[in-house]
Amino acid sequence: MERKVAWTTYTDEDLAKLECIAGKYAKFLDNGKTERECVREAVKLAEEKGYRCLKCAIEKGEKLNPGDCVYVNWMGKAIMMFKLGKQPIEKGINIVGAHIDSPRMDLKQNPLYEDTGLAYLDTHYYGGIKKYQWVTIPLALHGVVAKKDGTLVNVVIGEDPADPVVGISDLLIHLSADQLGKKGSVVIEGEELNVIIGGKPLKDEEKDPVKANMLGILKEKYGIEEEDFLSAEIEVVPAGPTRDFGLDRSMILGYGHDDRVCAYAQINALLSIYEIPEKTICCILADKEEIGSVGATGMTGKYFENAVAELINLTDDYCDLKLRRALTASRMLSCDVSAGYDPNFAGVFERKNSAYLGRGVCFNKYTGSRGKGGSNDANAEYLGNLRKLMDDAGVNFQTAELGKVDQGGGGTIAYICAVYGMEVIDSGVAVLSMHAPWEIISKADLYEAVKAYRAFMLNA
Ligand code: MN
Ligand code: MN
């Protein structure tokens, strides 16, 4: 039952393709450090391949035909791309879905303050993080400021090599006797995640001169007033580019592999399909998975269902029954990362049912915790069908659960789409140091994910 190491199966041609995909992925990751940036990047890549916005087609009253490619940019934070198939949508859609939000720290609405001659930005962390990992590393600020006049200012500070970076200080070891005796979860606490952004006072300013100086810089560079923070979404993320990892360059060190590696594999797979598919293909990149898929841009929002309704309306005579049939007849890969087996922490894994770096795309029949609680337990029949599909396409795959029974667990977007009665299974790339500022994946697993998603889109 041991699965093959994907690397041992590769020809020179495979290795060349693998490096090409890895290079493009690194660029995607560097340009997409927030969900908004990922959407912009996805729109750019899709438009280069002739995708157009669904809203434009609706407004012009156009009809859509097999082979047509459209996307829905949902509030700039989630996106769906569709390639219409030969069969009516009522016959079901082959769906791949990933999420493009990643753990990070968000600026509070009133973030800026000065203390003992240093200017700080106060944050509220987003998603599950080990807070102690986010101190003493270079951080960047990415996001948008929505001004009262309706304009949106884009902010990226800390990525250009000429840019300064910001960061959070930690206590020196010499005074850490008490700190090091604490539980890991409180070594650094949420309210201590305060980002240092400056230390030079404005001349002749008496009250908070460093803060005043920072406001001057923000005004000059971005035209922002302090009150504009009230309507801003600025994310504090690790600064710097994605890097090859390992002397053999077999891995990638990057911020936000969870879940942008699956998101990119989906995009790459979809945009490499030139023929008209039998069934309509949909690629969903959702927001807010890390905090429960809530809100208007999370997967529990109705945007996917609404988009399918619009598509039926543009290709057919719309009726509610056709929409329900389309959703029920659909098949989905919920594409999200898997916990990579880590020999340093062998105690939390069960070796036979773990995902290993380099053994290909990973299928998780179920996730969940404490007796599979909260899990989407995929049907055996569906898995049987996928095994054939993967073997026929020469995809290296493995299967896993998220750690030992009763050790923990996690959720994905699988259960949300399963509500419609469609077949859904989790599948993705194994990650080391998941949710840390810098996560590690194997290039082979990215390559196999692209192959797997492409085969699924065309043949499920
Ligand atoms: Mn994830
Ligand atoms: Mn996650």
Buried b (16+ CB within 10 A) or exposed e, 39-49: bbbbbebbeee
- Could you tell me the two tokens for 235? 């994310």
Instruction: Please list, in sequence order, all residues whose beta carbon lies within 8 angstroms of the beta carbon of residue 69, skipping any fewer than 6 positions away.
Output: 46, 49, 50, 51, 52, 81, 82, 83, 84
pTM over 0.95: yes
Question: How much is the pLDDT for 29?
Answer: 98
Sign of the dihedral defined by the CA atoms of residues 134, 140, 142, 147, in that order: positive
How far, in Å, from the CA of 138 to the mean position of ligand 1? 24
Give residue 261 CA to ligand 2 midpoint distance, Å: 12
Distance 101 CA to ligand 2 centre (A): 9
Looking at domain 104-238, its CATH superfamily turns out to be Aminopeptidase i, Domain 2 (2.30.250.10)
Cα-to-centroid distance, 68 and ligand 2 (Å): 33
* Stretches in the chain below the pLDDT threshold 70: none
Task: Provide the residues around ligand 2 (an ion) whose CB is within 5 A.
Answer: 258
pLDDT in tens, 295-340: 999 999 999 999 999 999 999 999 999 999 999 999 999 999 999 9
Domain boundaries, the chain: 6-102+255-459, 104-238
Q: How far is the CA of 220 from the centre of ligand 2 (A)?
A: 37
- Ligand 1 centroid to 346 CA: how many Å? 22
State the pLDDT at residue 368: 72
Domain 6-102+255-459 -> CATH class:
alpha beta
Coil/strand/helix, residue 204: coil
